[in-house]
Structure 1
């Protein structure tokens, strides 16, 4: 009887456990032994849901867990928590492992290695950045620590007036955490060094986000470079300093983005891209390695619009990567062709969405393009509850090929970006988009959907600029 092969997974969240679960469905324990190694204490949870847990929309951390360690083990997956991988040996087909609290390390061999180490939050080396009261929000443990601090401060209730929070960074996590803290009664200041918040939007669209956040009572300070976190006599964070000012803080939250967690992979000589993410083929196999796979926030993926690789840290992609990896290790066949860069978020009642390229991204790869921006509403203007939205569209000047869409508006705005994402994936022109048969009824849309109105305007701009 043939000996079962061993699949070793590093990282027990979206990509890693999706790969393990899919492979187990295809091969039983007698054919494939699956060992999953996780340095933390949780598995298969939604990091994207942490701001909503902090803000009170999600009642308990358990609601964010898709599958517990016990459930994975009941499916014959040997999940080992608090177990850290300290070295990769791809040539030898093994990884060095250390259990938390242990002093010794041992090698664990594999037939297939899945690297799903995720991403690490940016934490610049500034004075006071590691002081008590400064919080990241990357993991469930981070979220629990932040909630404990907030609840302890609220229980003490010794503040003279509203408690103050400073959020450093105005990307997706930054604006979501600003909302969560505002809802908890904090006076929130958001600091960002960019011209406008949300650098995943063009500045003219980011300006709408800034104006809306200020209208919600959130102080948004742009063009602000943080230089230090000031601490009090007790060593706790008390203010955040920039080059020009200082902002008092009872709590500081970092929302500066993430970078691929690929230190061990780089040390092992595995190929990394410009952003530091692992490079894979379409089957999610690490380039040049027959039995090493990678997925999730630690990889770079193909951008179908630009033709280049990019780092996109989203749970949707991570789960798909895991499905592809598990299918291939389990003896099937699957590929992950790439992304178009779709993302959606909100701050209070403002919805923010984008897909495809921004202006600076299109310029960076030498594309010539036109833009079209339109104002519309989520429903027929006469129907109760119609809310405003702005849609911006980029199209290639000569061909009219859709390059990107950004949407900022109230209820009903954000998910409209999906129409544009499908059009991008299909390589549509903006003129072809104007004929799309989208659903219409006054409670759901104006007669012409806002995305199609933008496509009409972009198509006219393509014709106006001509082939030259």
Structure 2
């Protein structure tokens, strides 16, 4: 009998363990999983909606409890942190966070699914009570506890990426006065600035104070030691609670110390089977790895639960004796702030320039439904196409209800390597309650065709 050891009890790790268990019986494969936290298999993406009150209970975010995993034949050890990987010896060292006891566990197959950690800049006061990162269920509970006992109703969010804008919405829903401080010129740096400007206008319209091109220099505390303000180079913003929305980095210190290969973004490097490069029996998946961008051909770090679950399924299939591969991503993401939907897939303009691609861009204004049908809402679609070939490079969409998920049309087209001309013939569903006769994405594709022709 062989042994699979899994480091990390969330999406990638437990998907790998569960899939391997489906394919191989306990008599064939022993599975031991280590998780340093108190929860397994939960939706980190749902935390802002739990904090904001749209998801009523923490347990609603848990897909499978430790007890359920154990009932399926997985030896899951909670509150246990792996502190070292001995690659040559084929073993890991783990410490029980309750008792402090340490022990070694050997493996025939190892899965590293250590996730990512929130970016926490080294600033005065950054660790003061009332300053919160939001990555785990424990983080979300700590933030809710602070909100329940805060002295006032002033919140500052540092950073305006996905987590930043989602947490701004959550705090607005909780009745807080919200200020978002960001170092970039526009929120949502995953969009081009012209599209980010639309997000800014909508957030300002919701009563959120937006502060751009501002570098935070200090988190100031009061006499009680708790956070009292966020300080930039030329201003100070009072705060009873501060939320960090500066993104995440791969949690790969353990892998680095073990001598495993890391990429330019700090994530583990794997092949298409999710096997760590150069190591036959070590696998990795989730937010701790880098993935291939199918549009640019470059490696990227993208922390999303959708990818993590796919990675886990692929790893579990391969460990279980099957064969599966993960070809890469096109960089699709969708979010919202109140009723504004924000979506993107593929490359931004600066991504295309970095990849050495010549491109054209077009932007169109359209509606989610036929203009005469009640409830039609405006949306803006921006499309990038490769100059010369007309290959679709990227799409960004900002609008109201019905806008965000339209990005999936472009995601499929990108994955298929379609040209914008080919996109114009897509047979999409139409009825006035769902779309204009020409879907906004196809309107953008038609305009992109003309732009490609004009640019030669």
Q: Taking structure 2 as the reference length, what is the TM-score of the superposition?
A: 0.99
SS in structure 2 opposite 1:441? coil
Q: 1:6 aligns with which of 3, 7, 11?
A: 3
5+ residue gaps in structure 2?
A: none
Q: Which residue of 1 aligns with 2:311?
A: 321
How many Å separate the matches in 2 of 1:380 and 1:223?
A: 39
Which SS does the other structure have where 1:28 is aligned? coil
Say which of 57, 60, 84 aligns to 1:87.
Answer: 84
Say if 2:126 is the partner of 1:136.
no
Shift of 1:106: 1.7
Q: Distance in 1 between matches of 2:139 and 2:292?
A: 30
Aligned mates of 2:372, 2:234 — CA distance in 1: 48
Aligned to 1:123: 120
- Between the aligned partners of 1:366 and 1:409, the Cα distance in structure 2 is 30
Matches within 5 A, 1:163-178: 163-178=153-168
- Equivalent residue for 1:148? 145
Task: Name stretches of at least 5 consecutive residues in structure 1 with no aligned partner.
Answer: none
1:25 and 2:8 equivalent? no
Select which of 179, 183, 190 maps to 1:189. 179
1:299 aligns with 2:296: no
1:425 counterpart (410, 415, 418): 415
1:209: how far off?
A: 0.2
CA-to-aligned-CA distance 1:272-320 (integer Å, 9 cap, x gap): 0111000000000000000000000000011000001100100000000
- 1:257 is matched with 247
User: Deviation string for 1:79-138 (max 9, x for gaps)?
Assistant: 000100111111110111110133442211000000000000000000000000001110
CA distance in 1, matches of 2:84, 2:65: 27
Select 2:206's aligned residue among 216, 239, 243.
Answer: 216
- Which residue number in structure 1 is paired with residue 44 of structure 2? 47
Work out the number of aligned pairs and report it.
Answer: 456
Alignment partner for residue 244 of structure 1, among 216, 225, 234? 234
- 1:6 alignment partner, SS class: strand
- The aligned counterpart of 1:75 is 72
Cα distance in 2 for partners of 1:310, 1:50 equals: 24
Identify the range of structure 1 (165-174 vs 95-104) with the bigger mean alpha-carbon deviation: 95-104
1:311-460 pair list within 5 angstroms: 311-460=301-450
| Distance of 1:97 and 1:138 partners within structure 2 | 22
Q: Matched residues in 2 for 1:391 and 1:342: separation?
A: 15
2: distance between equivalents of 1:21 and 1:264? 23
Partner of 1:179 in structure 2? 169
**Aligned partners of 1:7, 1:101: CA distance in 2, in Å?**
24
Corresponding position of 1:226: 216
